[in-house]
A and B are shown apart, each in its own frame.
Chain A
């Protein structure tokens, strides 16, 4: 079958070990590999240097814009140490960060445990879908911040109140993505599984669920993003723990370095979470990224 080899293997040369040759890296290759990193580093350095210059010139009031260096010092101090007893603000950045992340983890965990099975059920069964969907769409399209006073009424300024808000923020993207995954399952994959003898249950376990998995991961990714918003909202509204509280307290006590340090930390945290879930998606569903090429 030499004809076959000549014709259709050429489309996938990277798979054929005989066709891979090693070529010396040129300056162009090096730039392609490291260029984006160099640009990003220069870009961010320029940003912080400009910030430092503007702050030192005091064009903007120091109470509103601290020096970049002061922010980094506050961040470092806050992450390296616990707050001493009797400090103006109880707890360091580290303490509050751990509290917030703990709540986020529990809240998103609850959202996954509820959202995934309900999303799958709604996708698989039209009766479940038509019964639940008015509630799902109503609550998911509503700005959840509007519900916070109600939860405070029910649950007080407790940790339970915060976790409820986080779970409620995260559950709908997870549920809706799982639902969409089931609904968009490739019809010809289902037909193939049927032809080869799949039972109804096997259609779900061997086709629908694996097909839906990357959708669920994308849903969890969005859920974490929404959950993080829930964390901050809940903590700003009440209680004396968490990064949201710390932001509020830093503003109240005219401590802009601390305020900016927490904001910067939030950016880093949410970017890291997004990057991690993307990496996870690439590991668990590599075909999604590459099929589109």
Chain B
């Protein structure tokens, strides 16, 4: 490792590693900044989503809860709250309006906050607790309908209540028939005194639970096995389906953003490594001459890259950490939400992604570097065996795929607490398919054009046939200036043999068709009728219709 460190310092000083290090740092910084931001936004989305539910889990019943359920929530170390909803007539003086009554415990809601105002059109603020016993909060339209301002009294069943505040925001409230009625909040301990809830009343009883995700998952599993008739368990997926789609889309977008950063990182690292390998072929041959075994070379360069990776990933992670604050600052106006504090998981993810990308894309070429023959010091055209181009990059592909799967599982695990498992799977599937398409479209097509990333080794001299042609005085056309395979040297398998027929220094596909001589006619349309001269100007030639139909 000491020699690897020496080589790292020497190569760094000589500028051999700067491109690669820059690519790695930028890549890791991109990945970590996006990951940090995505993580914060994701957690904020889940947090806010739970605010829409008022808790992490809600148990709903059309009759009073059996006593063991609420006790079980407390026994599991979870916070709990309760609520009862029903429709009732609210009366103030001569006015009466059907109100949607929600009687809640003092600690409702467990997630998010109700917002109340001291008067109609007055600035509102978050409520620290539910309505005190003997008081109610009502919506503004109820104030209007009943002509009952804050401070006046309102009658519900057999009880009378003071209007203590105007309810301005109830995050949990969804859109359904029973929520059309204007809302009235009261304390759940006052319900019995109203006499409104009797046998046969249409009343819904709620138990809310909030706490650690794993405890919520366990409670959900426990509760589902104990639900009686008229009882159900609601989470975000079942309770607020309209929220689920939005969060899934946001997570998919952020996931694809991180994926793009990872793919660009892989490409940059592959290019940087290619340059490094090309510039070290001669040095490796000299070292082989002076006694370096293949394993020794592999350890030296492998160690050098591991050290480079550790340093580059650490620096990139720090930059990513700082950059995400700027991203949050810039996008803060769009988000309109307080992002939660930074967690360290994205830092770990970014660091590991950088290392795996570096080693996945760099180690295969480095492994090939050890195969540089010592005789290269005398015959420079002797290169290393390049092996299969796909095999070289398969390691990078496998590494990246592994990372994506891991990342998908991490998100699925995290989402399990937030009930968005499907989102994780979708992103993971998209990521893998996207990366495979990228490889096919970019890398392999480039390879076929002989400008490939797979061309790890310097091009070999032109074969005898090409030299003979040149020496024969025939001017070399532009089409023949490209690199040519050496019949004596192994060429990358990515260069399909079929594209290099004997005596041809350029793939047939790269040859240009002969340009027509000046003045000669170029037929853009070849009619089936061989006597187009019989047609008047502007008329459709025979066969045009058939050709259109063929298309």
Q: Decide whether A and B are members of one complex.
A: no
- The interface of chain B, by Cβ under 8 A from chain A, is none
